[in-house]
Structure 1
C-alpha cells in the first residue's frame, strides 16, 4: 500500500510543478530596460494622441488596450518571431480588418467575437504574421462596435496601423541603443547552403523547429547560433575532462563568450 501512495504523491508533486513558473527570473537590468522601452514607446503614442486633441479622436488618434501586449513583445522578447516588425504590423492590421468586417456585418456581439478572433488567427497564419496581440485587437474591435460602426475601415488605419508602426519604430531605435538586436537576424545564405557553424542548412534548421513546434518561439538564425554555442560548450567540457586539461589553461573554446553573443 505504501508504494501506490508514494506514486500518488510523486504524481501530485509533478502536477503542482507543472503549474509553477516555467521561466527563470530575468537577471540584471534587462527587466528594467524592457519596461523603460515599452513605457517610452507608449508615451510616444500618447503624445501623438494628445497632439490630435478632440478632432484627432474622430480621426482615430487614440490608444487601444492590445498595444500594451504588442509593446511587451517588442521590448521584452525582441528575438521572438512573434515580435518582429512584419508579425506586429501585419498581424495587428489584418486582425483589425477582419474584425471591422465582422462588426459591419452585424452579428450579435458574442458571435462576432468568436468569428473575429477565428478569422484573425487564420489570416495571421496565412500571411506568416502570427502576433498574439492581434487576437486581442480583433476582440477589442468587436467590443468597440459603436466606434467601429462610425469609423468603418478608417479604424484599421488609425489607431491600429498607425500606433503599431509607432511602437515598431520605437522598438527598432530603443533596442539598438540598448544593445539588443531588433529586428532579429535572418539567414544571410541561401536556404539550402549549410551553416558553417553547425553543418545544417537554414532549411534543415527550420525543419527541426517545425517538428518541435518551436518555430514561433525562436528564429532560424538564432537557433543556429544557440546550437553552435552548445556544441562549443560540450567541446570545452570534454577538453577539460581529459587528462592534463588543468595544465592547459581555462576554457580553450571561449564558449561562455559564444553563449553570451548567442543570447542577444
Structure 2
C-alpha cells in the first residue's frame, strides 16, 4: 500500500482488505455544476478522520453519499461502506414525543434493547435521565443523547456532520472530550465533517481538505492525546490546514513558514 512519511495513506492508494469507507470516481452534480469530481477516498477501520473545506466545497454532500442518503451520485467506480453505520448531526434530531430511552433505542430489537440503551446513556453522562423528554434537556445534553443513540448500535462507522456547531464554547470543549473518550472505548471508524480547524486537529488522527470536488490535502496528525492547542506542533498542523483553506497567516517568531507542511502531509495532484 502506498504511503507518505508519517504513515499517511495516499488518496487513491491500494485499499485495505475491508475499509470502513471506499469510494472510487464518485461524482455528484447539481445542475451543470460538479460538486464531487471522481472523488477517491479510503478510510481504514477504526480510523478517526476529519473533513474540512470551504462552504459549498461538498463536505456534507460527500457525507450524505457515504451515508447512502443521496442516491443520485454517479460514477463508474464504487461506494463501499459497512453494514452498521450511524449518523450524528448538528441538530440532535430527537423525537419530541418519545422519552429519552425510547429515542436512544428506536429501532433496536430484542430483550436486551432497554439495557443497552441505559448503558449508552450512562456512558454519555445521562444516567437517570432515561424518562426525560427531549425538551427537558439542554443543547449539550441533547447532543449527548444523540451520541448515545448513534453508539448503542455498535457501529463500524460513525458519520458526524458538524455535530457541535450549535453549541457554546464551553459545551463544545466538554463534547470534544466525550467524543474522543467514546471513540477510544468503542473504536468505530469516524468521519467528522467540520468547518473548525482546531476541532479537526484536536480530535482526528487524519485530516482531509476537500477542494474543487476532490481531496486536496491528506494529513496525518501525529500528536498524543489528549492534545493541547498551545502545543507548537498543534499550531503547525493548524497553520498548514488554514493555509490550505486559503487563510493568510502572519509569521510568528519561531514558527514554521506559513504553508510549510509538517511531517505527515500530502498534497494530492490537481
Identify the structure with bigger relative contact order (alpha carbons < 8 Å, sequence gap 6+).
2
The structure whose Rg is larger is 1
